[in-house]
Amino acid sequence: MLSHLKNLLFGETLANDQLAHQKFTVFWGLPILSSDAISSVAYASEAILLVLIPVIGSQSYKYMFYAALCIVALLFMLVFSYRQTIDNYPCGGGSYIVAKDNLGVVPGLCAGAALSIDYVLTVAVSISAGTAAITSAFPLLLKHRVLIALAIIAFMTIGNLRGMKDSSRLFGVPTYIFILTIGTMIITGIVRVHVFGQTPAASNEILPSFGNITLFLFLKAFASGCTALTGVEAVSNGIPNFVEPAQKHAKKVLALLAFVVLFIFGGLSYLATLYHTVPSDSKTVISQIAAQVFGTGFLFYLVQVTTAMILIMAANTAYTDLPLLLSLIAKDGYAPRQFGKRGKRLSFSNGITILCLCSGILLIMFRADTNALLPLYAVGVFISFTLSQSGMFIKWIREKKIGWRHKALINGLGALVTFFTAIMIGITKFRHGAWIVCLLIPSFVYCMLKIKEHYKEVSVELKLSKNERPISKVDNDRKVIILVDSLNKAFLKALNYSRSISNNIIAFHVATDEESAMSLKKKWDEYNVGIPLVIEYSPYRDLVSPLLGYIKKEEDHTKSGESVTVVLGQFVVTKWWHNVLHNQTSMFIRNKLYRERNVSVVTVPYIINE
Amino acid sequence: MLSHLKNLLFGETLANDQLAHQKFTVFWGLPILSSDAISSVAYASEAILLVLIPVIGSQSYKYMFYAALCIVALLFMLVFSYRQTIDNYPCGGGSYIVAKDNLGVVPGLCAGAALSIDYVLTVAVSISAGTAAITSAFPLLLKHRVLIALAIIAFMTIGNLRGMKDSSRLFGVPTYIFILTIGTMIITGIVRVHVFGQTPAASNEILPSFGNITLFLFLKAFASGCTALTGVEAVSNGIPNFVEPAQKHAKKVLALLAFVVLFIFGGLSYLATLYHTVPSDSKTVISQIAAQVFGTGFLFYLVQVTTAMILIMAANTAYTDLPLLLSLIAKDGYAPRQFGKRGKRLSFSNGITILCLCSGILLIMFRADTNALLPLYAVGVFISFTLSQSGMFIKWIREKKIGWRHKALINGLGALVTFFTAIMIGITKFRHGAWIVCLLIPSFVYCMLKIKEHYKEVSVELKLSKNERPISKVDNDRKVIILVDSLNKAFLKALNYSRSISNNIIAFHVATDEESAMSLKKKWDEYNVGIPLVIEYSPYRDLVSPLLGYIKKEEDHTKSGESVTVVLGQFVVTKWWHNVLHNQTSMFIRNKLYRERNVSVVTVPYIINE
């Protein structure tokens, strides 16, 4: 019944050879790999304004525009740097791999930890922002936003566990619609104001100012806007998914991505400046601009819906990338091995499940509030940018191939700028949540190193040398202990098995009350079982300790290091609810016995009521 | 760590011989065994008024008093009947035992089911009412009442799991304080009105009337008030807890109990009539009377606190009685056997846990509202009264001992009256919740019969006849299959074990990818293991099916019904969190293999990192 439900929800199990990658052209690669980067624009301008407006009021719009320009400049620097990564890591050059290859294990793990945290945040932030787009259009839903966000996560998790390969091309469409809709909005808005001389409703309102612009405030605004750059890395990770020549296509997509972000981010920032939009809890900046430009008709709702869709798709890229990253780390032995196994639908189901859990908890803790989540975001991304760029820089210096000076300059500059940005984000957002990430990254790295150490120790301990040869003598005098609860057919089956492997058997009964012990003893003699019965009374109703005590005594007695065999008759019922009716004593005893070095446990099942 | 926490919460494990019953004298027996009966008075008058006031307004008080008189009459009839039960069941004559002994299994189970449901309801109702007493005194707590109620349940559950034998005498004190406080209140109230001529604040208000008294309405009020009689049975259940002569003491306590209930219930009903109390959601009837009689000083709060305490103690009697009842039913085989086992502190911990869960769910569902829970209550009690009295009646008729006519008359009359009361309660409260109980009782009885049937079938199937003798030949050519994942020390240990029990071994590997299968094959040949290696490729990454398929083929091949032995090397880590780092494949395979009739499973543990 349960497995039917599972099949209905997740689909039939897939065979190994059904694993096939869909290859992208530039036209489909752009929307699919860049939804994260493009969508982050939806909340970046808002994040900048939220820093500036409470302090400098109406002056904010000017400085917001400067901050946006700096961010775009940084974007182009990143694009140049990443083009070089694409050239050199044709199999996908995630920060984890680049940093590990060139800087060593610990920087690699740092990048891996930073990225993992940021993927979780991508899901939480994007889905919060997507939910905000929905509730801006339908304010009645505002009080249910946590529930809506969780429903989207649940839906996305099931979809990813099923594996969404077949429909992934469909995912490209909303991105194009988003680009078109927002593009139309930007052009219409600019034309209305500059050509037709429309005066936006809010632009004459003077917002109160409580201070002047300071360098720190500007840097804080810049740092907040840097969330617009998250997701740039996705293209260089996804090279193997392009049709050949893959690297060339990937570089083209990266360049196109930069121009799209430039256009949309620049345009939206400019419009916000024109319309003097003030972000509020219930209305996003985009929704306010759309309402001013388009009124509240069809086009307004189209903007909201496509924004929500592209944000949800951005979350979906984390669902593709994090499990893959975890599987790479797991294959290197730095994460639990289960992350490297494919589930019934060939997706990395454990990674997907953990992403669902973590981002769900974050959403509940932060009540699906994008602006509360944002301070945690971006630190991780810029740490991984820095590590990846530094890795490339070191690589050029070390290899000294043709043109290495030029290349080292680009990546070095990239590393430097992203490093300073990371520091800036860390400092300005530290109190608002970045400290959590600063604590988490080193603890994750520590755990990953510990995990590797454990796997190494286990593998050393298990390693077989050629000198250790198996024995080849059958031993019919091994010590066998059968546990007996009462004299019945299940016991007889266990007894027969014991007889067939040894001539040295005793039966052991743990009595919790004397009456039942006497009755067993009587039946034992009547039936004339033919092997000795040892009864131990357990005043604390503990079934295992008396047995372990007996085994210990036997071992001391025989002075041999040989193993004792404990035989248990397990009776198995065929209807699941029948299990409720039987004490699961046998299972309990077994699980305790497995901790004993010299005890082999034999389970002889007896099936009832087939 | 977990077991430390468990010890802290529940105390150290107790040995069997530490189980000792504390014996009561009449003085302590009265408060301890009658808290349920005496406390139900706290909500009975209120329940009657809630039926009458909305229909007949100010007239209600007169009819409330009549209903109270009928209930007291019924109480005395019950006391006479139960005195006879006490004489005949010195070991405790619960309805379950009396009905099963004299009427047969199904009536016995009906009584058992009805009682079980009512014990759960006792907890839910008493704790809701106790919480209402607290919130009447401290209205600020009103909105947290569900939480308060759940906290009390949690506290009580832990207390009962620890076993509260030592302090149970302490439990008598609040009952006496309650009797004294309420007694003082009744006398003061009556003296104030009749001697000093005080006119109560509310008594002149005319409540609107929307109809006249009808027989049905009166019966409904009577039925609602019958909750005052719940808990009368407790004394006859508790006979073994009295000092000798136990039966005489129990009968004395029963008589005293009746007089206490008469005094308090009669007095409170009379006071409610004098003061024209109108029950409300936030103030209980008792709290309103107390406020009128005592003002809102110390005595007012004393009434509230002692009421809350005695109600909570009433819930505690359910915690003692239900697990005992379930253990009796379990020992007869009509309930899962686990209910008959004593936990680490010698309490019937499974019964206590299930009581906690069920009453907690009820409290949450009914939002800790006493008056919403009451319609479910009392039906069950009166069904069990009826069955127990009928059982006694049949016993007299059947045995025909001296004076049987007289005794049969009393119990017969008791059975008749309680039967009609049960019917009345069932009809008048049917729509408000009694239907739930009317559905639950037969379904519980059905389940209990099914459980007995299952246990019987199992015991028949397991029964060993004298002719079935164990074999006594050691067989060194049994088929042994070792599961191999990789060549390591854990495998070597498993291999050595297999070698020591058979000369007919093969190794079996389930490959999920071809690469690792090739690598295993290569190592296998290099190491020169000396037994054949079978590799099956599993495209669906399912580890068990290929193995079962192989076993099936082998069985068909050898055509013998003999069992196959599967040996698994289980490696065991000593720190619990290390388990997270290893696929629990071995455990998973084992659990699947246990369902196979002809497969014995041997686990050879290999302990890592001790």
**pLDDT tens track for A445-482:** 999 999 999 989 888 888 888 788 877 778 888 889 99
Q: What is the pLDDT of residue B243?
A: 81
- Over residues B303-307, the mean pLDDT reads 89
Residues B85 and B193 occupy one common structural domain = yes
Q: Give the domain-ending residue among A398, A421, A455.
A: A455
Predicted complex: ipTM over 0.85: no
User: B476 contacts in A (CB within 8 Å)?
Assistant: 474, 476
Give yes or no for A472 touching B (CB within 8 A).
yes
Residues B232 and B267 occupy one common structural domain = yes
Distance (Å, rounded) from C-alpha A596 to C-alpha A589?
A: 12
- Note whether A462 contacts B540, CB cutoff 8 Å: no
Residues A356 and A492 occupy one common structural domain = no
- Note whether A539 contacts B476, CB cutoff 8 Å: no
Find out whether A524 and A511 touch, Cβ atoms under 8 Å: no
Q: What is the pLDDT of residue A60?
A: 85
pLDDT classification of A104: cutoffs 50, 70, 90: very high
Q: Is the confidence at residue A203, as pLDDT, over 60?
A: no
Give yes or no for A597 touching B (CB within 8 A).
yes
Distance (Å, rounded) from C-alpha B314 to C-alpha B309?
A: 9
- Over residues A351-364, the mean pLDDT reads 92
Residue A273 lies in a domain: yes
Residue A174 lies in a domain: yes
pLDDT classification of B485: cutoffs 50, 70, 90: confident
Give yes or no for B570 touching A (CB within 8 A).
yes
- Over residues A12-22, the mean pLDDT reads 67
The helix/strand/coil state of A347 is coil
The residue of chain B with its CA nearest to that of A458 is B608
- Note whether A501 contacts B501, CB cutoff 8 Å: yes
The residue of chain A with its CA nearest to that of B466 is A527
- Of A106, A262, A248, A77, which Cα lies nearest the Cα of A186? A262
CATH number (domain holding residue B296): 1.20.1740.10
What's the sign of the alpha-carbon dihedral B210, B216, B218, B220? negative
Residues A527 and A388 occupy one common structural domain = no
Q: What is the pLDDT of residue A557?
A: 64
Q: What is the pLDDT of residue A559?
A: 53
Q: What is the pLDDT of residue B507?
A: 93
The residue of chain B with its CA nearest to that of A511 is B16
Please, which residues bridge with residue A479 across strands? A504
Residue A236 lies in a domain: yes
Residues B35 and B183 occupy one common structural domain = yes
What's the sign of the alpha-carbon dihedral B115, B121, B127, B132? negative
Token pair belonging to A92: 């996908």
Give yes or no for B8 touching A (CB within 8 A).
no
Residues B209 and B328 occupy one common structural domain = yes
pLDDT classification of B165: cutoffs 50, 70, 90: low
Residues A486 and A448 occupy one common structural domain = no
- Of A413, A412, A425, which Cα lies nearest the Cα of A382? A425
Residues A102 and A249 occupy one common structural domain = yes
- Over residues B327-334, the mean pLDDT reads 90
- Note whether A464 contacts B495, CB cutoff 8 Å: no
Q: Among A50-54, A224-228, B9-13, B200-204, where is mean pLDDT lowest?
A: B200-204
Tell me the pLDDT tens digit for each residue of B204-263.
Answer: 567 777 778 888 889 888 888 888 888 888 888 778 778 888 888 889 999 999 999 999
Q: Is the confidence at residue B390, as pLDDT, over 90?
A: yes
Q: Give the domain-ending residue among A420, A455, A490.
A: A455
Q: Is the confidence at residue A5, as pLDDT, over 70?
A: yes
The residue of chain A with its CA nearest to that of B334 is A581
- Over residues A574-594, the mean pLDDT reads 80
Question: Alpha carbon of B249 to those of A134, A153, B92, B170, B252: distances in Å?
Answer: 73, 66, 13, 20, 5
Tell me the pLDDT tens digit for each residue of B56-107.
Answer: 888 888 888 899 889 989 898 888 888 888 888 887 768 898 999 999 999 9
Distance (Å, rounded) from C-alpha A264 to C-alpha A163?
A: 31
Tell me the pLDDT tens digit for each residue of B104-141.
Answer: 999 999 999 999 998 999 999 999 989 988 888 888 88
Find out whether B269 and B168 touch, Cβ atoms under 8 Å: no
Nearest to B500 among A478, A495, A595 (CB): A478
Q: What is the pLDDT of residue B128?
A: 92
Q: What is the pLDDT of residue A434?
A: 87
Q: What DSSP string describes B286-333?
A: HHHHHHHHHTTSHHHHHHHHHHHHHHHHHHHHHHHHHHHHHHHHHHTT
Distance linking the first and last C-alpha atoms of chain A: 18
Question: Alpha carbon of A336 to those of A358, A449, A456, A563, B491: distances in Å?
Answer: 16, 11, 13, 32, 22
- Over residues A188-199, the mean pLDDT reads 83
Residues B154 and B289 occupy one common structural domain = yes
- Over residues A201-222, the mean pLDDT reads 77
What percentage of chain A has pLDDT greater than the value 70? Answer: 94
Residue B469 lies in a domain: no
Q: What is the pLDDT of residue B535?
A: 92
Q: Which amino acid does the sequence have at A202? A: A
Give yes or no for A432 touching B (CB within 8 A).
no
Q: Check residues A508 and B7 and name the one with the higher pLDDT.
A: A508
| Full residue range of the structural domain in which residue A113 is found | 30-455
Interface of A with B in 328-347 (CB under 8 A): 336-338, 341-342, 344
Neighbours of A576 (CB within 10 A): 9
For residue B258, the distance in angstroms to the closest alpha carbon of chain A comes to 40
Tell me the pLDDT tens digit for each residue of B493-529.
Answer: 899 889 888 888 999 999 888 888 899 999 898 888 8
Residue B528 lies in a domain: yes
Q: From the candidates B339, B347, B594, B610, which should be mutated to test the interface with A, based on the most A CB atoms within 10 A?
A: B594
Long-range contacts of A108-112 (CB under 8 A, 24+ apart): A108/A387, A109/A329, A109/A334, A109/A444, A109/A445, A109/A448, A109/A449, A110/A383, A110/A387, A110/A441, A110/A445, A111/A383, A111/A384, A111/A387, A111/A388, A112/A325, A112/A329, A112/A334, A112/A448
For residue A9, the distance in angstroms to the closest alpha carbon of chain B comes to 18
Q: What DSSP string describes B418-430?
A: HHHHHHHHHHHHG
For residue B515, the distance in angstroms to the closest alpha carbon of chain A comes to 13
- Note whether A499 contacts B609, CB cutoff 8 Å: no
Nearest to B540 among A15, A336, A471 (CB): A15
- Note whether B474 contacts A344, CB cutoff 8 Å: no
- Note whether A541 contacts B16, CB cutoff 8 Å: yes
Nearest to B572 among A344, A468, A595 (CB): A595
CATH number (domain holding residue B521): 3.40.50
User: In which residue are the tokens 């193995």 written?
Assistant: B547
The residue of chain B with its CA nearest to that of A335 is B581
pLDDT classification of A6: cutoffs 50, 70, 90: confident
Residue A93 lies in a domain: yes
- Note whether B15 contacts A344, CB cutoff 8 Å: no
Residue A23 lies in a domain: no
Token pair belonging to B253: 């306590």
Q: Is the confidence at residue A165, as pLDDT, over 60?
A: no
The helix/strand/coil state of B159 is helix
Distance (Å, rounded) from C-alpha A119 to C-alpha A414?
A: 22
Q: Is the confidence at residue A343, as pLDDT, over 80?
A: no
Nearest to B513 among A16, A472, A604 (CB): A16
Nearest to B495 among A470, A563, A602 (CB): A470
- Over residues A74-85, the mean pLDDT reads 88
Q: From the candidates B466, B486, B541, which should be mutated to test the interface with A, based on the most A CB atoms within 10 A?
A: B541
Interface of A with B in 571-590 (CB under 8 A): 571-574, 578, 580-583, 590
For residue A247, the distance in angstroms to the closest alpha carbon of chain B comes to 28
- Over residues A13-29, the mean pLDDT reads 72
Q: What is the pLDDT of residue B169?
A: 67
For residue B18, the distance in angstroms to the closest alpha carbon of chain A comes to 10
Residues A497 and A417 occupy one common structural domain = no
Neighbours of B318 (CB within 10 A): 29
Distance linking the first and last C-alpha atoms of chain B: 18
- Note whether A470 contacts B499, CB cutoff 8 Å: yes
Q: Tally the domains of chain B.
A: 2
For residue B604, the distance in angstroms to the closest alpha carbon of chain A comes to 5
- Over residues B370-390, the mean pLDDT reads 88
User: B608 contacts in A (CB within 8 Å)?
Assistant: 457-458, 461-462
pLDDT classification of B558: cutoffs 50, 70, 90: low
Question: Alpha carbon of B605 to those of A230, A483, A594, B503: distances in Å?
Answer: 49, 18, 6, 21
- Over residues A582-586, the mean pLDDT reads 77
Q: What is the pLDDT of residue B19?
A: 62
* H helix or E strand, kind and range, residue A107: helix A105-137
- Residues with Cβ within 8 Å of residue A378, at least 6 apart in sequence: A118, A223, A226, A227, A229, A230, A425, A429
Q: Is the confidence at residue B481, as pLDDT, over 90?
A: yes
Mean pLDDT (chain A) is 85
Strands (E), A498-584: 504-511, 533-537, 564-573
Tell me the pLDDT tens digit for each residue of A480-535.
Answer: 999 998 888 888 889 988 988 888 899 999 988 888 889 999 989 888 888 999 99
Residue A15 lies in a domain: no
Token pair belonging to B499: 């070698």
Residues B95 and B145 occupy one common structural domain = yes
User: A608 contacts in B (CB within 8 Å)?
Assistant: 457-458, 461-462
For A37-62, b/e burial (b = at least 16 CB within 10 A) is bbbbbbbbbbbbbbbbbebbbbbbbe
- Note whether A16 contacts B495, CB cutoff 8 Å: no
Residues A365 and A509 occupy one common structural domain = no
The helix/strand/coil state of A386 is helix
Interface of B with A in 516-555 (CB under 8 A): 527, 529-530, 539-542
- Note whether A472 contacts B601, CB cutoff 8 Å: no
Token pair belonging to A344: 């019934």
The helix/strand/coil state of A335 is coil
- Residues with Cβ within 8 Å of residue B207, at least 6 apart in sequence: B53, B57, B58, B60, B276, B278
